[in-house]
Amino acid sequence: METKNIMIVGVGGQGSLLASKLLGQLLIGQGYDIKVSEVHGMSQRGGSVVTYVRYGDKVYSPVIDKGQADFIVSFELLEAARWTEYLKPGGKIITSTQQINPMPVIIGAAAYPENLVEKMQAAGVDVDAIDALTLAEQAGSAKTVNIVLMGRLSKYFDVTEEVWMQCIEKGVPAKFLEMNKKAFMLGANA
Amino acid sequence: MKQLMLGNEAVARGLYEAGCSFVSSYPGTPSTEITEAAAKYAEIYAEWAPNEKVAMEAAFGACLAGKRSFCGMKHVGLNVAADPLFTISYTGVNAGMVIAVADDAGMHSSQNEQDSRHYAMAAKMPMLEPADSAEAVAFTKLAYTLSEQFDTPVLLKMCTRISHSQSIVEPAPRVEASKPYEKNPQKYIMMPGNAKRRHPVVEERTAALVAYAENAEINRLEEGSDHCMGIITSSTAYQYVKEVCGDTYPILKLGMIWPMPEQKIRDFAASVEKLVVVEELDGFIEAHCKNLGLACVGKDKFSCIDELMPLQVAAQLAEPWQTGAVLEEQIPMRPPVMCAGCPHRGLFYTLKKNKVTAFGDIGCYTLGAVAPLAALDTTICMGASVSGLHGFVKAQEGEEPQKAVAVIGDSTFMHSGITGLVNVAYNNSNATVIIVDNSITGMTGHQQNPTTGMNLKGDPAAKIDLETLCKAVGINRVRVVDPYDLAQCDTVLKEELAAQEPSVIISRRPCALLKYVKHEKPLQADPNKCIGCKACMRIGCPAISIVDGKAKVDDTLCVGCGVCSQMCKFDALKAGKEA
């Protein structure tokens, strides 16, 4: 099988590490070779962050370069736009419509671009935009945005809901399990 | 059972399986998780040392005691530990000793992008370079075998993409290893007479290691169908070459990056029409090839600047690569920022307001350099704020007095700020040193240090008292401020700048991300009181923005620190209602 590429992008502190951990568990369970690559350190302090997930028969590069991503899962709209160039022609962007102003916008040195979903679509990009923050709050906590988006991603995967749920059970503490399962279903069915 | 493991966790797994029982390190991105993961194995004693030099010397002592030992650090940490490095190359080891160094090409979290492979050559010490997590385990174990076989510490070279990538590892059981200590002054006392006898031993050892490298399995030849070129590569660069070219060209993958084989490389070059070296950062393998008199393509094609990426490899090897859709849109940058509630914020605002020259240091507080605070003048390396300030102030004595301070974190002060402060006191410069004490090593992800009262394993430990320490080295004026209290910060800063003797201000409040820190309720902006003057925006808090001309607080980010409300003359920022 040709190597598949998923990028998880967002703002440092949004919880992308748990999402990539969940995906890693899922894919290793399917018998794939897999690499998950992320950057720790300074960028996690509210900067733009990216995690690369690659799987297939044999995976070499730990990173995904421009034009290679089958899926870009974005926790924040501006970040989806920032990484659009990394999407493979025919790939799909799954993004939360949440907007978090970066410091240049906060201090008035730059403007947050408007109508980004439409602009991405105009550039020929297949965008699946959902209000993941509201769904996460419905599930019980804004912190489950990551699981809402994984639920959304699951729609495009040939893996049963049961297998996803088993991975969530392994990845999250028991007391948050029901909330996360709910978040996953809300994302999948939104 | 197969497991997905971070490169750094894989090194720790290798330590465990190899029977390593002593680990001493100082945290530094991207190396930190090696030691954190090692600490989780009950069979391994693991500690945070105050700096990399101390860590390396401690690991050396442990190997003399007959225990397989380890120290890990980032590339710039090896600069700090370079002094013992060069001499323990002469003494060799008793039980095996491994030193991991993690480079940060692309400077994701570093102040330079030095290539640590040069240290292996300079210190005449073998260096292994894994290309994924499975190799990180295997090479760590091999490093101990080589260390004991060739009587030398062995360097294990990691980098951001190997350290922070997870790939598949099959764990194996631990094999215990230990031997007795035997006195051997000729080997271990490096005074000139003994060292003169050890240097030829080192040269013979390198020759023996070259012979080993000729046939070592980790210097692997991979056949290709097209001999129009052959590629010598290692580490991440190997992965990118395979990604781009597959099995097309013959590849010599070097797992041992120093010393390198000679005949093996000559034979490889002779078997292909053109020799190409693909490596990240400097032309280290390339220089070796050229020393052997072999023509090759190298840094003339692949830049020594920034991370190597697959696209660059494809472009230079003329391999096809499809690119993605480009948005015709200016996307604002999203640089890292100080967190909402960060205790450093109030302090940096005070520095900016007082227009002081500020010598910065290494840590989260380097973000004090970013707009709108923009309150730093320099950042060089660990500890340089204090010593740099001393020179800056001393050189201008007798002239118009300078308003200048050093800003250094608690962990960095322990690492290498103390010696600078000793110099301030001993040579009596009118310096004002600010220790931003957030009770943790923040930037690398919350590691304990000698000022926190806890050790790596989370057990209670001796706690250095900063006030007593500063007084003991000869600083008479030691003040403590709460950085959430802007008026107090301002008053104390002015007093200490005016004082005609050295002084220390300890700006003390725990990191807002620490789990035990209890936060206040988020503030709310009262739109009836806010006049849109944007005074609150001068502190660069990510939780405040101006919406429709008025301040708005993001209650998912705000921790109620109250610094912004002290900026507001209109009483518009106040504690939110009961939730």
* Domain architecture of chain A: domains with CATH: 4-188 (3.40.920.10)
Do B170 and B236 lie in a common domain? no
**Of B485, B508, B531, which closes a domain?**
B508
For residues B131 and B296, the answer to whether their CB atoms sit within 8 Å is: no
Contact B443 A42 (CB under 8 A): yes
| pLDDT beyond 60 at B222 | yes
Do B177 and B63 lie in a common domain? yes
Residue B322 placed within a domain? no
| pLDDT beyond 50 at A13 | yes
Smallest CA–CA distance from A119 into chain B, residue: B327
- Residue entry with tokens 């076989």: B149
Digit-coded pLDDT (tens) for A67-121 = 999 999 999 999 999 999 999 999 999 999 999 999 999 888 899 999 999 999 9
For residues B169 and A35, the answer to whether their CB atoms sit within 8 Å is: no
Confidence at residue A92, expressed as pLDDT on a 0 to 100 scale: 98
Contact A102 B109 (CB under 8 A): no
| CB-facing half-sphere around the CA of B438: CA atoms within 13 A | 29
Give the span between the Cα atoms of B203 and B206, in whole angstroms.
5
| pLDDT beyond 80 at B408 | yes
Whether B331 has its CB under 8 Å from any CB of chain A: the answer is yes
Q: Give contacts of B 94-153 with A, CB under 8 A.
A: 108-109, 132
Contact B336 A123 (CB under 8 A): no
Give the span between the Cα atoms of B372 and B381, in whole angstroms.
23
Residue B32 placed within a domain? yes
- Helices A145-154 and A16-29 sit at what angle, rounded to 10 degrees? 40
Angle at the Cα of A63 from the Cα atoms of A61 and A69, rounded to 5 degrees: 105
Average pLDDT for A12-38: 90
Q: How confident is the model at residue B578 (pLDDT cuts 50, 70, 90)?
A: very low
| pLDDT beyond 50 at B38 | yes
Look up the domain containing B549 and give its range.
523-578
Amino acid at A14: Q
Confidence at residue B577, expressed as pLDDT on a 0 to 100 scale: 59
Do B19 and B131 lie in a common domain? yes
Arithmetic mean of pLDDT over chain B: 96
Of B98, B131, B128, nearest to B116 by C-alpha is: B128
Output the six-digit token pair for B415. 């690492």
Query: DSSP E strands: which ranges in B197-289?
Result: 219-222, 230-233, 251-254, 256-258, 275-278
Give the span between the Cα atoms of B14 and B62, in whole angstroms.
18
Do B158 and B238 lie in a common domain? no
B543 by DSSP, 3-state: which? coil
Residue B323 placed within a domain? no
Residue B518 placed within a domain? no
Q: How confident is the model at residue B402 (pLDDT cuts 50, 70, 90)?
A: confident
Give A189→chain B minimum CA distance, Å.
Answer: 26
Arithmetic mean of pLDDT over chain A: 93
Taking the CA atoms of residue B538, residue B544, residue B545 and residue B550 in that order, the dihedral angle to the nearest 10 degrees is -90
Q: How many contacts (CB atoms, under 8 Å) link A and B? A: 192
> Which one of A9, A17, A45 makes the best mutation probe of the B interface by having the most chain B beta carbons within 10 Å?
A45
Confidence at residue B579, expressed as pLDDT on a 0 to 100 scale: 39
For residues B573 and B536, the answer to whether their CB atoms sit within 8 Å is: yes
| Beta-strand relationship, A4-11 and A69-74 | parallel
Give B344→chain A minimum CA distance, Å.
Answer: 13
Residues of A whose CB is below 8 A from B331: 78, 81-82, 113
Smallest CA–CA distance from B160 into chain A, residue: A39
Do B244 and B210 lie in a common domain? no
Give B349→chain A minimum CA distance, Å.
Answer: 15
Residue B67 placed within a domain? yes
Do B107 and B235 lie in a common domain? no
Give the span between the Cα atoms of B221 and B224, in whole angstroms.
10
Do B363 and B424 lie in a common domain? yes
For residues B479 and B504, the answer to whether their CB atoms sit within 8 Å is: yes
Q: Give contacts of B 408-467 with A, CB under 8 A.
A: 443-445
Amino acid at B526: D
Residues of B whose CB is below 8 A from A123: 325-328
For residues B282 and B118, the answer to whether their CB atoms sit within 8 Å is: yes
Whether A115 has its CB under 8 Å from any CB of chain B: the answer is no
Confidence at residue B527, expressed as pLDDT on a 0 to 100 scale: 95
Average pLDDT for B425-438: 97
Distance of CA B210 to the CA centre of its chain: 30
| Facing residue for A62 by CB, picked from B161, B322, B331 | B161
Do B104 and B244 lie in a common domain? no
Confidence at residue B556, expressed as pLDDT on a 0 to 100 scale: 84
Give the span between the Cα atoms of A180 and A172, in whole angstroms.
8
Do B496 and B557 lie in a common domain? no
B549: CATH: 3.30.70.20
| Facing residue for A102 by CB, picked from B30, B333, B372 | B333
Output the six-digit token pair for B225. 């169908």
Residues of A whose CB is below 8 A from B108: 39, 41-43
Give the span between the Cα atoms of A82 and A2, in whole angstroms.
26
Number of domains in chain B: 4
> Which one of B113, B158, B159, B166 makes the best mutation probe of the A interface by having the most chain A beta carbons within 10 Å?
B166
Average pLDDT for B415-421: 98
Number of Cβ within a 10 Å radius of residue A58: 10
Do B120 and B254 lie in a common domain? no
Whether A131 has its CB under 8 Å from any CB of chain B: the answer is no
Do B208 and B258 lie in a common domain? no
Give the helix, strand, coil percentages of chain B, each rounded to 5.
35, 20, 45
Residue B324 placed within a domain? no
| Facing residue for A81 by CB, picked from B329, B339, B537 | B329
Residue B559 placed within a domain? yes
Contact B339 A110 (CB under 8 A): no
Average pLDDT for B457-472: 96
Residues of B whose CB is below 8 A from A55: none
The length of chain B, given as a count of residues:
579
**Residue A164 φ/ψ, nearest 5 degrees:** -60, -45
Distance of CA B361 to the CA centre of its chain: 13
B223: CATH: 3.40.50.920
Among A26-40, A52-66, A127-141, B386-400, the range scoring the smallest mean pLDDT is A26-40
Do B77 and B132 lie in a common domain? yes
Output the six-digit token pair for B412. 């960095």
Whether A117 has its CB under 8 Å from any CB of chain B: the answer is no
Q: What is the DSSP string of B540-559?
A: --TTEEEETTEEEE-TTT--
| pLDDT beyond 70 at B416 | yes
Digit-coded pLDDT (tens) for B326-355 = 898 999 999 889 999 999 999 999 999 999
**Of B215, B235, B263, which closes a domain?**
B215
| pLDDT beyond 70 at A43 | no
Number of Cβ within a 10 Å radius of residue B421: 26
| Beta-strand relationship, A48-56 and A33-38 | antiparallel
Of A132, A42, A35, nearest to B336 by C-alpha is: A42
B446: CATH: 3.40.50.970
Confidence at residue B92, expressed as pLDDT on a 0 to 100 scale: 98
| CB-facing half-sphere around the CA of A52: CA atoms within 13 A | 27
Of A52, A24, A37, A31, nearest to A170 by C-alpha is: A24
- Residue entry with tokens 């002239």: B399
Q: How confident is the model at residue B524 (pLDDT cuts 50, 70, 90)?
A: very high
Q: Give contacts of A 11-70 with B, CB under 8 A.
A: 11-13, 24-25, 28, 33-48, 59-63, 65-69
Contact A86 B324 (CB under 8 A): yes
Digit-coded pLDDT (tens) for B7-20 = 999 999 999 999 99
Number of Cβ within a 10 Å radius of residue B490: 17
Residues of B whose CB is below 8 A from A23: none
**Of B162, B188, B215, which closes a domain?**
B215
